[in-house]
Amino acid sequence: MTNLYRLADQRARRRIVSFDRRELSRLLGLYSMRVASGEWRDYAIDFRPGMAIFSIFRHTSEQPLFAIAKVPNGSQGGGYVVYNGPRKLAHGDSLEDVLGVFDRKLRLLLG
């Protein structure tokens, strides 16, 4: 009972999706700005079959506030998706496009 497995076949089937250095730098830059302003407190990076997820938390013990997913062969209309719980906020082909959701609008404060 000898079973032979080709390693090349196994690697092709279990392709791991991850964030590259540029993407991680952009995500952590956004995260650090929001931590400095006191909005966000924690993050997590998950690797699931066919996707990588950068989750952002307000409090460590809660559900993620936002999740930014990289899905290279996604049927969602692009390679990146931003979620707020089960609600999809943005999707697109580039990380910069979907991170536009987090851009703040300037407000005039009268005092």
Task: Provide the domain count of the chain.
Answer: 1
48-70 pLDDT, tens per residue? 888 999 999 988 778 999 999 99
| Residue found by looking up tokens 């496009």 in the block | 97
Residue 32, helix vs strand vs coil? helix
User: Which pLDDT value is given to residue 32?
Assistant: 95
1-55 pLDDT, tens per residue? 577 666 665 555 567 888 999 999 999 999 999 999 988 999 999 998 889 999 9
Contact, 85 vs 76, CB < 8 A? no
Provide CB contacts within 8 A for 45, sequence distance 6+: 19, 52, 53, 54, 55
Question: Is 19 part of any domain?
Answer: yes
Model-level pTM?
0.77
Residue 62 is encoded by which pair of tokens?
């809660």
* Domain span at 90: 15-101
